[in-house]
Chain A
Amino acid sequence: MPENQKTMTREEFLLEMDEILGLRAGTLRGDEKLDELQNWDSIALIGMIVLAETASDASISPDRIVGCSTVSDLVRLAGLDGSSL
């Protein structure tokens, strides 16, 4: 984890997802389907891998990200199950 990265909350994770997807801050709530999101493309996928790895401080293979259907799946994958790590 980069030295300047503090522990991330679920809310912060969602805000970062908003940023990665080019959405207005506060748009994502967690129940959205990924394939219905605007800008869910390869660039966003790379950003999500980096975000999930940063949040979980662990390596996450792309196929696990691709295997997620909803935003909440990603939140769980990052180890942020509704509370701070």
Chain B
Amino acid sequence: MTDEQTMSFEEAMQKLESIVEKLEKGDVPLEKAIKYYQEGMQLSKLCNDKLIHVQEKMTQIVNEHGELEPFNIQEDE
């Protein structure tokens, strides 16, 4: 949970799913179950934030020199 900020959406999602799976099995010691739950809640918040407060990634295009530059869709067609 320390690298929460740098964790990718995919990692957070996978971790969340695995935690839910562990809890669903039920045979978890209580302290661990609570710890999992807290961790799961943090992960779900992280995933939610990533999806809702989207910092939309810019679309880029490779120019003829093999460099990247911003790309805007031409709406004329």
Q: Do the two chains belong together in a single complex? A: no
